[in-house]
Chains A and B, each alone.
Chain A
Amino acid sequence: MERRSLFKVLSGGLMAALGAVIAAPVLGLLSSPLRRRVQSGGEEPLPVADLARLTDGVPTRATVIAEVVRDAWSRFEKVPLGAVWLIRRGETVSALSTTCPHAGCFVDWEPQKKAFGCPCHGSAFDLAGKCTGGPSPRAMDSLETEVKDGKVLVRFQRFRQAKSDKEPA
């Protein structure tokens, strides 16, 4: 090999190697969130209300509060995750997310109509959460609940909006 082309190869190789050894740790750090859980909290069923306080067939709003939420370097205690509508039927309780599946507005209970309604774009839902009018692509999102020792527990989740299927966000 000629001296000049040897130097060319060596220089090119050195430059590529230097680029690589700097890029590797940098990319490792930047892509760190892909490999680990950065946020956590609220995956477990959380107590939201006493069963005795719920009236049969009348939706009651309850706030879901996580004991602990981790967010990167922080640990937050008693964090409100969101709100749910609780509907009691005898000894069982169902829960509907207050987030409208259409565009994420807060769905309200309208007692005189005995129905849920979204103030933003007028989606309407019946007591079971089924969509009865307006632009919402699906029923209100139901959440897993259980009743234990007189307490109502809800596993809080968020779902993707503007989809006809209910997919976790």
Chain B
Amino acid sequence: MASRFARFKRVGDWLDERTGFRGVMRAALDEPVRGGARWSYVWGSCLVFALIVQMVTGVVMASSYSPSVTTAWASVAYMNDQMTLGWFVRGLHSAGASAMVILAVIHLLQVALFGAYKRPREVNWILGVMMLGLIFAFALTGYLLPWDQKGYWATQVATSLLGATPLVGRGILKLVLGGESYGNLTLTRFYALHVFVLPAAMVLLTTLHIALFRKHGVTPSWRGSDEELAKRTVPFWPDQLLRDLAAMAALFGLMAWWVFRSHGADLEAPADPTSSYDARPEWYFLPLFQLLKHFPGAAEIPAAMGAPLILFGTLLALPFLDRGPDRSPSKRKRYLAAVGLIFAGAIGLGLEARQDDAHSEGYRAQRERADRDAARARELAREGVLPAGGLAVWENDPDFKARKLLGERCLGCHLYQGAGENRAPSLDGWSSRAWIAGMLRDPDHPNYYGKTKIHDMKPVKGGEAQVRALVEFVFAQGGPQGVDEALRARGEELFGAMDCDSCHDSDGTGANQGPNMGGRASADWLRAFLRDPSEGRFFGKQNAMPKFGDRLAPSEIDVLVRLLVSERAKK
């Protein structure tokens, strides 16, 4: 044991002689903390920690993200829903962004309260305010990258405002978007900003910020004389460092808890420029969003530009306005009130925005629809997204496939939802009660067999009640759900009494002059019918419809069967 320790030490000595790392470590750890270690000093360290979490999770996500309008959404959906712990890493990155905003504001308010921006620390305060701006720039550029509904529409709001800047707006907008509207270059530009430019700026400013902090030391409480503070001074290691680490652990625990609770960050349906989507920005932009509601029309642009200018202008000017040597808050009420007012205003606006949405029926309905679409799109994405990307995920939907197949294979003869040719019975509400009733009353109507070769059936002449009973009997062949049994039984009697059974069998197998009614319009019946409608129990020799058993794969027939079954269920 001892010898191993000695070996470690020898390696350390060797390295120290060549690098001087022990001196650097000592300088880092022995920094004096004036007035002693305090829990209130942990915020800066927590910000550094959150930044590290963002960088690590960001780099890993970049290894499975593809920035283009055709691949962005699909690659994020794949990372989030199919790669191991992808949802957790992405969730951490999103929670980390929120944490950075909260921590930065706490850190800033504390510095303001302690008067720590005063001489000689003005430059460091300015660096800090600049970093707050960078955090918002990160949030804005990162939000668009998944190319989902939320990111797409929320970012539209921001870029439209940018484009409305007087004089230079159009030029700046085109530069930022890489074109006239959102496209591939918008994503690659936002991506480059988010993963290269902003991180480089952030690392640079953080380094300067910490260097200046080390130069000037912590700003202790305004209470206590210099002698008292000097007496309580301790080195950074271990008292302060342990507090910092404990706070970081608590922060991470909170973030992880949040991610577990929310199952990671939202990913909505792929961006759809044609959809109506009522976008909301992330919570930290809600105050600005709400502010715009209070400045409609021509006042909107000045408000949107003015509010951030006032916020950052006030913060940057603070050390030059509040120049007295006294750091006690009771002597600086004016300045603290200004800062407090700005943040209280922001919080108030944010809460108001939440309230508005909570009371809006329309917004709630919109949210529910968006959540449903998101869940469906992500489920469909598990089958892989076609090269057209993003929105092409909907092509995985069986309904979409069915419509496409129907268009290609059926609408050359059948009508459906306003499309197709009228050479065969309409497929709108095919074999629903209304369809059957209309067919019984007038089989030679163009919606039924009027345009076909089949004209052997005579219209059913009977009272309303009789037709309703017959309809129920025929409808019930497709499946027992929702069938009125008494009515069906009455229909069955009438089927014999009115001589329908002289042309139509109803055992499901026999061939007669007209189609066999047994099991008609059930899924099994449909499958067999589509495969070969010229079977004796269907249209036999009178059939003019192609046998799709030769032309479609069984899975394709199933897709059509599902669509027709759902038509039957229509009112």
- State the CA gap A77–B396 with chains docked (Å): 12
Checking B84, B88, B248, B381 against A35 with a beta-carbon cut-off of 8 angstroms, the contacting residue is B84
Q: Can you name the residue of chain B whose Cβ is closest to the Cβ of A4?
A: B238
Please state if A18 and B246 are interface contacts (CB–CB under 8 Å). no
Complex interface residues of chain A between 54 and 101 (CB less than 8 A to chain B): 70-77
B162 → chain A closest CB, angstroms: 31
User: A8 with B238: in contact, given A18-B245, A32-B83 (CB under 8 Å)?
Assistant: yes
> B74 to chain A: which residues have CB within 8 Å?
73-74
- State the CA gap A72–B66 with chains docked (Å): 11
User: A22 with B249: in contact, given A36-B82, A74-B74, A74-B384 (CB under 8 Å)?
Assistant: no
> B225 to chain A: which residues have CB within 8 Å?
none
Checking A8, A25, A31, A76 against B387 with a beta-carbon cut-off of 8 angstroms, the contacting residue is A76
Please state if B383 and A29 are interface contacts (CB–CB under 8 Å). no
Please state if A32 and B86 are interface contacts (CB–CB under 8 Å). yes
- State the CA gap A100–B211 with chains docked (Å): 61
Complex interface residues of chain B between 220 and 272 (CB less than 8 A to chain A): 237-239, 241-242, 245-246, 248-249, 252, 256
Contact segment of B56-64, B274-282, B290-298? B56-64
Please state if B75 and A73 are interface contacts (CB–CB under 8 Å). yes
Q: Can you name the residue of chain A whose Cβ is closest to the Cβ of B79?
A: A29
Please state if A75 and B84 are interface contacts (CB–CB under 8 Å). no
Please state if B75 and A72 are interface contacts (CB–CB under 8 Å). yes
Residue A11 lies at the interface, judged by CB distance under 8 Å to chain B: yes
Please state if B78 and A72 are interface contacts (CB–CB under 8 Å). yes
- State the CA gap A31–B82 with chains docked (Å): 12
> B53 to chain A: which residues have CB within 8 Å?
22
> A31 to chain B: which residues have CB within 8 Å?
84
> A4 to chain B: which residues have CB within 8 Å?
238
Please state if A29 and B84 are interface contacts (CB–CB under 8 Å). yes
Residue B346 lies at the interface, judged by CB distance under 8 Å to chain A: no
User: A11 with B241: in contact, given A25-B89, A26-B56, A30-B60 (CB under 8 Å)?
Assistant: yes
- State the CA gap A76–B385 with chains docked (Å): 8
Residue A14 lies at the interface, judged by CB distance under 8 Å to chain B: yes
Residue A28 lies at the interface, judged by CB distance under 8 Å to chain B: yes
Residue B559 lies at the interface, judged by CB distance under 8 Å to chain A: no
Complex interface residues of chain A between 3 and 48 (CB less than 8 A to chain B): 4, 7-8, 10-11, 14-15, 17-18, 21-22, 24-26, 28-32, 35-36
- State the CA gap A73–B248 with chains docked (Å): 35
Please state if B77 and A7 are interface contacts (CB–CB under 8 Å). no
- State the CA gap A74–B249 with chains docked (Å): 39
Checking A22, A29, A70 against B384 with a beta-carbon cut-off of 8 angstroms, the contacting residue is A70
Residue B92 lies at the interface, judged by CB distance under 8 Å to chain A: yes
B358 → chain A closest CB, angstroms: 33
B144 → chain A closest CB, angstroms: 18
Please state if A73 and B245 are interface contacts (CB–CB under 8 Å). no
Checking B57, B75, B239, B252 against A26 with a beta-carbon cut-off of 8 angstroms, the contacting residue is B57
- State the CA gap A74–B385 with chains docked (Å): 5
A70 → chain B closest CB, angstroms: 5
- State the CA gap A11–B245 with chains docked (Å): 7
- State the CA gap A18–B88 with chains docked (Å): 16
> A35 to chain B: which residues have CB within 8 Å?
84
> B82 to chain A: which residues have CB within 8 Å?
36
Please state if A25 and B85 are interface contacts (CB–CB under 8 Å). yes
Residue B71 lies at the interface, judged by CB distance under 8 Å to chain A: yes
> A25 to chain B: which residues have CB within 8 Å?
85, 88-89, 92
> B528 to chain A: which residues have CB within 8 Å?
none
Checking A21, A29, A74, A77 against B64 with a beta-carbon cut-off of 8 angstroms, the contacting residue is A29
Q: Can you name the residue of chain B whose Cβ is closest to the Cβ of A8?
A: B238
| Most A Cβ at <10 Å: residue of B85, B248, B386 | B85
User: A7 with B85: in contact, given A26-B57, A74-B384, A77-B386 (CB under 8 Å)?
Assistant: no
Report B's interface with A, CB cutoff 8 A: 49, 52-53, 56-57, 60-61, 63-64, 66, 71, 74-75, 77-79, 82-86, 88-89, 92, 237-239, 241-242, 245-246, 248-249, 252, 256, 381, 383-387, 396
Report A's interface with B, CB cutoff 8 A: 4, 7-8, 10-11, 14-15, 17-18, 21-22, 24-26, 28-32, 35-36, 70-77
Having A7-B238, A71-B384, A73-B385, one finds 5 other A-B pairs with CB under 8 Å, namely A7-B239, A10-B245, A14-B245, A32-B85, A36-B83
6 A-B residue pairs with Cβ-Cβ distance under 8 Å, sorted by A, are A14-B249, A29-B60, A31-B84, A32-B85, A72-B64, A75-B384
